[in-house]
Amino acid sequence: MLRWTRAWSLPLRGLGPCCLSSSRVPVAPSSSGRSGVEPRSVLLSYKLLDGEATRPALVFLHGLFGSKTNFNSIAKALAHQTGRRVLTMDARNHGDSPHSPDMSYEAMSQDLQDLLPQLGLVPCVLIGHSMGGKTAMLLALQRDMAERQFLLTNLVEVDGRFVWRVNLEALAQHVDKILAFPPRQESYPGPTLFLLGGNSQYVRPSHHAEIRRLFPQAQMQTVPNAGHWIHADCPQDFVAAIRGFLA
């Protein structure tokens, strides 16, 4: 059974030519039996076919006893026909990927959550067969859940019914202005810190020149594993960056 899903609202990053990793690492200890502990990821072996960095990549996940080679011809055909980047990989305990005593879907999802941002392949389209399809399903559900929980903080109970505490009508009417910034000619000469999430695409390289024009003393610091909500994704790095700026 073949399952596919679109997942992740994260940044796109350009990559160079096709690259292949097949290195092994020592067997990783299991964390699946410890409640509340995030599964420990392993470095997956993968093959990446290059394509347009502005379009979501296609990511293939094989089934039980399979490997990344199962999709070789299909990956090449889709890369040629769609112009997109196409990634195939070996799941943990399969192919050239490391062995681990943890073979839970949570662990396989964590492997992807660590690998895909490193390769700049998010957002992406996940295409999984059998075991790989279930891994894609779990990953999509885990990422959707985090955003839903954030949005639901704006839902409150008033007089026995749930209402939005944000003014949705006003926000919808002015969303373009909120996402933009009013044009200004003057500049601010004081010290300024722009803290960017490595997995966020809100501040693009094309914005840097205007930022430095408006704030000539600006420092730009990136938190590698954070998205748009740096304070929620990496609170310790967030606090450390502020303390460093204040020092």
Spatial CA neighbour of 51 closest among 113, 121, 111, 115:
121
> Apex CA 211: angle with CA 205 and CA 217, to 5°?
120
Q: What is the DSSP letter of 179?
A: H
Spatial CA neighbour of 105 closest among 63, 75, 46:
63
CB-CB neighbours of 38 under 10 Å? 11
Q: Cα(246)–Cα(244) distance, rounded to whole angstroms?
A: 5
Residue 71 is encoded by which pair of tokens?
């999709």
- Asked if residues 25 and 42 have their Cβ atoms less than 8 Å apart, the reply is yes
Which residues are identified as catalytic?
Answer: 130, 169, 228
